[in-house]
Amino acid sequence: MGKIKNILYIMLMLMISMPLIQRTMPLFPETPLKGSFSMPEKPEANRKAIFDGSFQEAYNNYFEHTIGFRPFLVRLNNQVAYTLFDTAQAAGVVIGKEKYLYEINYIKAYKGWDFVGREKITEQAGKAAFVNEKLKAAGKTLLFVMAPGKASFFPEYIPDKYMAKPSGEATNAKVIRQEFGKLDLPLLDFNEWFVSMKDTATYPLYPQCGIHWSAYGVALALDSLIKVIEREQHINMIGFGWSGFDLPDTLRNPDYDIAEGMNLLFPIRPYRMAYPRLRFGPESGRIKPNAIVIADSYYWNIYGEGISARLFGSNNFWYYNEEAFNPEWENSRKVSELNLMDELSNADVIIVMATEANLYRFPYGFIDQVYDALNRGEQLYAGVHDSAGLTGVEARLQEIMRSIEMNPEYRALIQKKAGERGISYREMLRLDAEWILQHEAD
């Protein structure tokens, strides 16, 4: 009996000591946790911090986050909460009926709990109408896009405790449709479109364990978007379509993104998804319009996959109108550091897009910024694909500007010269084009 007690005691001590041993000299490989969180840094000890207790508190937090087997223990805890109590430990995640996963902000939007008020949306619509008129006069196409939302698409799986609560006065989506519609603003509503074809779509438009639209849904929406741009810009873009689908046993990114952030021990087994095999036509004789897309994470399915780079010339993605991305840049930039009028002048198409969970901040302050700039008298120039309808000298000038834009080396030279002279890129582009036109006449 004594031997058994000793063995049990040794085993207990070993179990208690293993996390510390693993932390000091890792014996077993550990898979890091997924999701967005920050690891605390090891605090520095000093007299003040030790005596006021802040060092001890900070070190305790640091120790807890670096203890051995922490990822495993977190996953174990999360799995117990999910399996036994139908609860997600990940912030903002809601487990719906039949294990459909949501983020709480989508449910808030669907129920109208984040409604910003009709007055604010009406004001934005009025400013948007003014901006749209100015952009249209410069030959540019402004499009507002409401991307689909999972709560609107799958309301039947939202837990009863949320559905039983009173809805808000209205939803942002409904009032945006109404107010933008009154002013005949160019609004593409993929949210309602997805819901309308929910029961007839060939493949799933939404994943069970992800928050973003499916690759199939993206392809359908993009096909429609291209047709609208072609009609508004009077151009033929590069052909876009798909030839068949992949139906793998495992999900591709980002169709499992919510579940991935839950950090469970055992994966959830959702239904299979379809992935279209995209194809693009030849570039010869086709136009790649310059685009600025101001959007939330839904656009990553298009930009991050390299799809937009195949369709657009200057391919700009302004994430929440805060961080700007362009494949030609080595690093992202702050939107606030860009010259707004120069960027708009260089663009042919401007798209402002949000899923339902982000409509409360739509259009991300972008319309306010353009509205204010135009009212300050800042100039907006016609783009390089806007020569349709022009005649004579101006039409030829636009052609020259377009040819310069199509040459990466020449475009870089224009940017350099603009910086040296302290003028905008657009002004420098036009000056060079005028110089070429003058010497053509000679």
* pLDDT tens digits, 37-76: 566 666 666 766 666 666 666 655 554 555 656 777 788 8
Mean pLDDT of 381-389: 52
CA 145 centroid distance within chain = 13
Question: For 282-304, what is each residue's pLDDT tens digit?
Answer: 988 888 999 999 999 999 999 99
pLDDT at 49: 64
Shared domain for 251 and 329, answered yes or no, is: yes
In a domain, 86, yes or no: no
Least confident range of 235-239, 271-275, 425-429:
425-429
pLDDT at 123: 97
Between the two ends of the chain, the Cα-to-Cα distance in Å is 110
pTM of the model: 0.79
Shared domain for 290 and 363, answered yes or no, is: yes
pLDDT band of residue 416 (cuts 50, 70, 90) is confident
In a domain, 192, yes or no: yes
334 close to 323: Cβ distance less than 8 angstroms = yes
Shared domain for 409 and 267, answered yes or no, is: no
- Domain stops at, among 320, 348, 375: 375
Q: Provide, rounded to the nearest whole percent, the portion of the chain with pLDDT above 70.
A: 82
Angstrom CA distances, 193 to 155, 189, 200, stand at: 15, 6, 12
pLDDT band of residue 234 (cuts 50, 70, 90) is confident
153 close to 194: Cβ distance less than 8 angstroms = yes
Shared domain for 431 and 365, answered yes or no, is: no
Shared domain for 306 and 418, answered yes or no, is: no
Q: Is the pLDDT of residue 262 over 90?
A: yes
In a domain, 283, yes or no: yes
Domain limits for position 15: 1-30
* Tokens found for residue 49: 């911090």
pLDDT band of residue 143 (cuts 50, 70, 90) is very high
In a domain, 82, yes or no: no
In a domain, 23, yes or no: yes
Q: Is the pLDDT of residue 376 over 50?
A: yes
Mean pLDDT of 165-178: 97
Shared domain for 346 and 203, answered yes or no, is: yes
Angstrom CA distances, 403 to 186, 339, 415, 425, stand at: 30, 23, 15, 15
Shared domain for 371 and 397, answered yes or no, is: no
pLDDT at 165: 97
Shared domain for 25 and 131, answered yes or no, is: no
Q: At what angle do helices 408-421 and 425-441 cross, to 10 degrees?
A: 110
In a domain, 59, yes or no: no
Least confident range of 21-35, 134-148, 333-347:
21-35
In a domain, 81, yes or no: no
Shared domain for 10 and 146, answered yes or no, is: no
Beta-sheet strands, E only, within 14-160: 93-95, 101-103, 141-146
In a domain, 384, yes or no: no
Shared domain for 333 and 429, answered yes or no, is: no
| Number of domains composing the chain | 3
Q: At what angle do helices 392-405 and 425-441 cross, to 10 degrees?
A: 120
338 close to 347: Cβ distance less than 8 angstroms = no
Half-sphere exposure (Cβ direction) of 140: Cα atoms closer than 13 Å: 26
Shared domain for 199 and 171, answered yes or no, is: yes
Least confident range of 28-32, 160-164, 219-223, 419-423:
28-32
Mean pLDDT of 246-262: 95
Provide the phi-psi class of 344: left if phi over 0, else alpha when psi is between -120 and 50, else beta.
Answer: alpha
Number of Cβ within a 10 Å radius of residue 50 = 12
Shared domain for 365 and 419, answered yes or no, is: no
376 vs 419, higher pLDDT: 376
Q: Is the pLDDT of residue 409 over 50?
A: yes
Q: Is the pLDDT of residue 22 over 60?
A: no
